[in-house]
Amino acid sequence: MMNTEICAPSPEAIARAAEWIRGGEVVGFPTETVYGLGADALNPEAVRKIFLAKGRPADNPLIVHIAQLEELDPLIRGELPERARKLAQAFWPGPLTMILPKSALIPDAVSAGLDTVGIRMPENAVARKLIDAAQRPIAAPSANRSGRPSPTTAMHVLEDMRGRIPMILDGGPCRVGVESTVLEVLADPPRVLRPGGITPAMIAGVLGGCQVDQSVLRPLKEGETARSPGMKYRHYAPKGHLVIVEGPKAAESICRLYDAAPGIRCILCPQEHAPLYGARRVRPLGSGAEGAAEQLFAALREMDEIGAQHIFSESFEATGIGLAVMNRLGRAAAFEVVSAQ
We find the least distance from the C-beta atom of residue 121 to Mg ion, in angstroms, to be 18
We find the least distance from the C-beta atom of residue 331 to ligand TXA, in angstroms, to be 11
State which residue, 177 or 322, has the beta carbon closest to ligand TXA.
Answer: 177
* Distance in angstroms (rounded) separating the CA atoms of residues 89 and 148: 33
160-165 long-range contacts (CB < 8 A, ≥24 apart) are 161/4, 161/28, 161/37, 161/53, 162/4, 163/1, 163/2, 163/3, 163/4, 164/1, 164/2, 164/4, 164/53, 165/2, 165/4, 165/25, 165/26, 165/27, 165/28, 165/37, 165/53
Q: Which does 140 bind (CB under 5 to 8 A by kind): ligand TXA, Mg ion, none?
A: ligand TXA
| CA angle (270 as vertex; 235, 171 as ends), nearest 5 | 60
| Contact flag: residue 117 with ligand TXA (CB under 6 A) | yes
Q: Which does 171 bind (CB under 5 to 8 A by kind): Mg ion, ligand TXA, none?
A: none
Strands of the chain, DSSP E: 5-7, 27-29, 36-40, 63-65, 96-101, 116-120, 138-139, 167-169, 181-184, 191-194, 211-212, 241-246, 265-269, 282-284, 310-314, 337-339
| Contact flag: residue 118 with ligand TXA (CB under 6 A) | yes
We find the least distance from the C-beta atom of residue 187 to ligand TXA, in angstroms, to be 11
State which residue, 20 or 312, has the beta carbon closest to ligand TXA.
Answer: 20
Query: How many of the chain's residues bind ligand TXA (CB under 6 A)?
Result: 28
Among 25, 71, 179, 213, binds ligand TXA (CB under 6 A): 179
* Distance in angstroms (rounded) separating the CA atoms of residues 324 and 326: 6
Among 43, 60, 199, 253, binds ligand TXA (CB under 6 A): 60
Among 114, 125, 204, 274, binds ligand TXA (CB under 6 A): 114
We find the least distance from the C-beta atom of residue 195 to ligand TXA, in angstroms, to be 12
| Contact flag: residue 153 with ligand TXA (CB under 6 A) | no
Interface pattern 223-252 for ligand TXA (x via CB under 6 A): -----xxxx---------------------
| Contact flag: residue 60 with Mg ion (CB under 5 A) | no
Rounded to the nearest angstrom, the gap between the alpha carbon of residue 86 and the centroid of all alpha carbons in its chain is 23
Among 72, 99, 121, 183, binds ligand TXA (CB under 6 A): 99
We find the least distance from the C-beta atom of residue 95 to Mg ion, in angstroms, to be 13
Q: Which does 118 bind (CB under 5 to 8 A by kind): Mg ion, ligand TXA, none?
A: ligand TXA
Contacts (Cβ under 8 Å, ≥6 apart) of 25:
39, 46, 49, 165, 166
Q: Map 310-324 to HEC letters.
A: EEEEECCCCCCCHHH
State which residue, 228 or 253, has the beta carbon closest to ligand TXA.
Answer: 228
| Contact flag: residue 190 with ligand TXA (CB under 6 A) | no
| CA angle (31 as vertex; 29, 35 as ends), nearest 5 | 55
Q: Residue 118 corresponds to which amino acid? A: G
| Contact flag: residue 193 with ligand TXA (CB under 6 A) | yes
We find the least distance from the C-beta atom of residue 142 to Mg ion, in angstroms, to be 3
| Contact flag: residue 142 with Mg ion (CB under 5 A) | yes
State which residue, 179 or 246, has the beta carbon closest to Mg ion.
Answer: 179
Among 21, 25, 33, 300, binds ligand TXA (CB under 6 A): 33
Question: Regarding beta strands 310-314 and 36-40, do their DSSP bridges make them parallel or antiparallel, or are they unpaired?
Answer: unpaired
- List the 241-246 sheet strands across, edge first: 282-284, 265-269, 310-314, 241-246, 337-339
286: left (phi over 0), alpha (psi -120 to 50) or beta: left
Binding site for ligand TXA (CB under 6 A): 31, 33-34, 36, 60-63, 95, 97, 99, 111, 114, 116-118, 140-142, 179-180, 182, 193-194, 228-231
Binding site for Mg ion (CB under 5 A): 142
